[in-house]
Chains A and B, each alone.
Chain A
Amino acid sequence: MYAVEMRGITKRFRNVVANDNVDLVVKRGEIHSLLGENGAGKSTLMNILYGMYAPTSGEIRVQGRSVTIENPLKAIELGIAMVHQHFMLIEPMTVAENVVLGYEPKKNGCFDLKKAIADVDKLARDYGLFVDAKEKVENLSVGTKQRVEILKALYRKAEILILDEPTAVLTPQEVADLFKVLRQLKESGKTILIITHKLKETLELADTVTILRKGQVITSVPVGEMDEAKLAELMVGRIVAFDAEKAAAPGEHKVVMALRGATVVKEKRAVLENVSLEIRAGEILGIAGVEGNGQTELIDVLTGLQKLHGGAVVLEGKQLPSARLTPRAMLEAGVGHIPEDRGKRGFVGGFTIAENLILGYHRRKEFDNHGLIRIKARDAFAERVAEQYDVRMDSIRDTVGSLSGGNQQKVIIGRVFAQDPKVIIAAQPTRGVDIGAIEYIHAQLLKMREAGKAILLISADLEELTKLSDEIAVLYAGHIVDKRPAKEYDEKTLGALMTGHAQGVEEKEA
């Protein structure tokens, strides 16, 4: 008998078919990977199973029984739980309070906190999920928060656990821990469905993989029969080049931009302390680090969004006075910025593609005629850039919010690259972007490198970092703890350094 059977599921949104006659069959007690690019329909399918959407047509069976799942409450009743990519936790409350929320133990009609803590402690011990039930969620690391989400699911007696891109926000060590937990859960008979677009994870963790492309199931096979190249081809629909060729950029690799002893203090704590680095023409300097170790501040300093509390920014040999450390001055000086969170810093969702393509450069003569927008010039520029950077859209008058993640990212990259920057601060350039677009963005970055641009690459994806960078600096707790040519690192060493285990390097040297 199957844990989940979804037969002939079709889901239409207005004129878009997100799921087209999809069959998904999940055996009890297996880890099942739902693989596909962004927009392939994975999340839609899982949201149908979790009762967030009603399918346009199709049948769902859970543990052999035909069911209608009107809402998440019904799903929970059926033993289905979902761990979302963005955690649904109440930060100022404790772990125990979060876990029991909605299903609180009661004594004389009042909330029984003691029992809640005891229950959560026991649950955590039973499944090997180590969390302090009395700790407030806001004090936890991302990996631990995720564990709290899993505990929440288990507390609700979930038999079928859906995880939406669970590794997107984790460090390599945390990913390893998560996989251990998931395997344990499998041992104890739970069924796990994991939404991902990462091939390696599927191969490492899953028993069965179902590949979705453009809303349709391409195939559903045991993972044992697959390898990375085959998965990628099935997922994208064509053969994918994994290794971008990296030729040395010609010319002298002069230092274009540098930080000298940069220090940033937030809430009386140095989030960036005495950081010095040099970004050279024709080279990519990679920054490795777990989120929250100063990357955001580093990006913000280099793009003028954050004032320095010590140290200096040097551009083309000249130290910039603090009055020039503003976003506008930096943009004018030729420092292009691909923001780490594109939805927040990158674009204005309600603006059109054309309007977004000039954001930051809208005061330039080519777009601004004494305070009036040169609409024709802007639109011609937008048409050109959108075509050159392969933005898939109907019209430059569409809002950027209506594009897929990969295409949104192409808009941002096109905007920056089209202005012939001297320095490119590229933060998480491929986050949440599908394989085809990743391939493209990597190629574009390398092209910029060959054109002699000085590039800083901040990425949580260590594979990307080691592949593209010439040199990598590791940022931990606001310090650069290590820096050397990229080929001297492997993912394991980087992972250790990023989490503050300096001995990772010593072991390698020994």
Chain B
Amino acid sequence: MTASKTQKTTGLAERLSHNNVFLSAAALLLSLIVAGLVMLIAGYSPLEGYAAMFTGAFGNVSNLAQTLGTATPLIFAGLAMALAARGGMFNIGIEGQIIAGAFPAALVGAYVQGLPWFLHIPLCFAAGMIGGGVWAAIAGFLKNKLRVSEVILTIMLNYVAQYLAEYLANYQFKAEGMLVRTETILPSAALTPLVPYTRLTGGIFVALAFAALMWWFLARTTTGYEIRAIAENPFAAEAGGIHIARRNLLTMFLSGALAGMGGAVEVLGVHGYFITNMTSGYGFDGVAIAVMGQYTPVGTVVSALIFGALRAGSTSMNRMTSIPGEFIQVLQALVILFVSTPGIVRLVLKRRRQKKEA
């Protein structure tokens, strides 16, 4: 009876209300159209803009490499968000966890000496994962102890991470020179560009491997099964003997570890050190990427690549046309708006309903 009640209307609205590729594709298309209209109103040619953007993202090997390189940390950020959501947690602190991963990765890269690259790089990754994981787990721990929403906790911890890292980079670990940054990592820790003068490094393969790992974890392991059960119905999960607080903590740790990996890859592959403001909004893009990717690993990778192309393309649109690069932010905001209107709203409603029943 109740099942039939939910099928009130058919057609577009219903199709949109289901998780599917259609929703994401529609959102992207709609955003391109609306952003185009905004360009038109502002007196620019959207065709010219999009053409420049497309060339900038895919035009030659170097541009394509830049797109993939830009997408690398975005994949990690998106996976971090997606994993948290699949475990019923809303981790909005990915930005902070990227910093919490980048900083220790940079230190391990700079100060641990005498290791060959095949040990040094994984060690930096481990430092990044632990840093990001612990940072997210703090929010999970406090949620369990104090019953504070992880949304608030992770947002606040973003600032703590940012200013703490800034402080440390300014005093204890400051490198010589004008910039607020740590010492440059040793060559044994560096990820070298696959295409010269681009951001593309082996990090992209690591990112893809982690996406596969996440799929495997959720689909094939008993712990992944438990985590998904909590997200879908915490009450049934509890009755099924699943320790919710413990699993939430694990979910947060793993989510943060993915974010921390993003930070580590960015340090080892792009900057070579930790520098303030290096995250440039990856964490928040990660939210949009995961939502557009329907919280699946494959979807997240695909939408991270699209976002990477947008970011890379905007630079060249800025250079080649009179259209300001900021239009890309308009576009991204629209994507978020259109994808999340059914998506995030649904998530929030679901949680509220569960809270009421509790």
A-to-B contact residues, CB < 8 Å = 13-14, 18, 38-39, 42-44, 47, 52-53, 303, 305, 326-332, 337, 339, 344-351, 355, 359-360, 362-363, 367-368, 371-373, 375, 401-402, 404-405
Contacts and interface: CB of A to CB of B under 8 A. Distances in A.
Interface size class of B (residues with CB under 8 A): 20 to 34
A402 B228 CA distance: 18
B238 A348 contact: no
A332 B240 CA distance: 11
Given A327-B239, A350-B232, A367-B222, 6 more contacts: A305-B238, A327-B240, A337-B239, A346-B239, A355-B225, A373-B221
B222 to A, nearest CB: 5
Interface in B210-233: 220-223, 225-226, 228-229, 232-233
B235 A344 contact: yes
Residue among B3, B220, B223, B228 facing the most chain A CB atoms (10 A cut-off)? B3
B322 to A, nearest CB: 49
B194 interface: no
Contact of B8 (A38, A53, A348, A351): A53
B280 interface: no
Q: Kindly list the 10 A-B residue pairs having the minimum CB-CB distance in the complex, ordered from nearest.
A: A328-B241, A360-B240, A359-B240, A345-B239, A43-B1, A327-B241, A348-B232, A348-B233, A350-B232, A344-B235
A371 B238 contact: no
| Interface majority SS (helix, strand, loop, mixed), chain B | helix
Contacts of B221: 371-373
Contacts of A348: 229, 232-233, 236-237
Nearest to A327: B241
B176 to A, nearest CB: 48
19 contacts: A14-B10, A18-B4, A43-B4, A344-B357, A347-B236, A348-B229, A348-B237, A350-B233, A351-B229, A360-B239, A362-B226, A363-B222, A371-B221, A371-B222, A372-B221, A373-B220, A373-B222, A373-B225, A404-B3
Given A348-B236, A349-B233, A44 B220 contact: no
A53 B6 CA distance: 11
Nearest to B223: A371
B346 interface: no
A348 B230 CA distance: 9
Contact of A362 (B1, B8, B222, B232): B222
B243 interface: yes
B5 interface: yes
B7 interface: yes
A328 B244 CA distance: 11
Interface in B307-351: none
A190 to B, nearest CB: 24
A305 B228 CA distance: 20
Nearest to A195: B1
Contacts of A401: 3
A161 to B, nearest CB: 19
Nearest to B219: A373
A52 B5 contact: yes
Contacts of A404: 3
Contacts of A329: 241
A372 B218 CA distance: 10
Contact of B5 (A42, A47, A362): A47
Interface of B: 1, 3-5, 7-8, 10, 220-223, 225-226, 228-229, 232-233, 235-243, 357
Nearest to B354: A344
A360 B229 CA distance: 11
B222 A44 contact: no
B8 A327 contact: no
Contacts, number: 94
A345 B4 contact: no
Nearest to A359: B240
A345 B232 contact: no
Contacts of A402: 3
Contacts of A328: 241-243
A42 B4 CA distance: 11
Contacts of A344: 233, 235-236, 357
Given A348-B229, A351-B229, A372-B221, A13 B4 contact: yes
Contacts of A47: 4-5
Nearest to A345: B239
Contacts of B3: 401-402, 404
A52 B8 contact: yes
A329 B5 CA distance: 38
A38 B1 contact: yes
Nearest to A41: B4
Contacts of B10: 13-14
B140 to A, nearest CB: 20
B241 A331 contact: yes
Contacts of B225: 355, 362, 373
A329 B243 CA distance: 11
A337 B222 CA distance: 21
A326 B241 contact: yes
Nearest to B241: A328
Nearest to A86: B2
Contacts of B238: 305, 327, 345
B243 to A, nearest CB: 7
Residue with the highest number of chain B CB atoms closer than 10 Å, among A330, A362, A375: A362
B5 A359 contact: no
Nearest to A370: B222
B1 A351 contact: no
A404 B222 CA distance: 28
B252 to A, nearest CB: 20
A77 B357 CA distance: 33
A363 B1 CA distance: 34
A273 B257 CA distance: 47
B232 A351 contact: yes
Contacts of B8: 52-53
Nearest to B357: A344
A160 to B, nearest CB: 20
A363 B236 CA distance: 16
A329 B235 CA distance: 17
A359 B10 CA distance: 33
Q: Which of the listed residues A326, A339, A348, A362 has the most CB atoms from chain B within 10 Å of its own CB?
A: A348
Contacts of B237: 348, 359
B34 to A, nearest CB: 30
A175 to B, nearest CB: 20
A404 B239 CA distance: 22
Contacts of A345: 235-236, 238-239
A419 to B, nearest CB: 12
B346 to A, nearest CB: 12
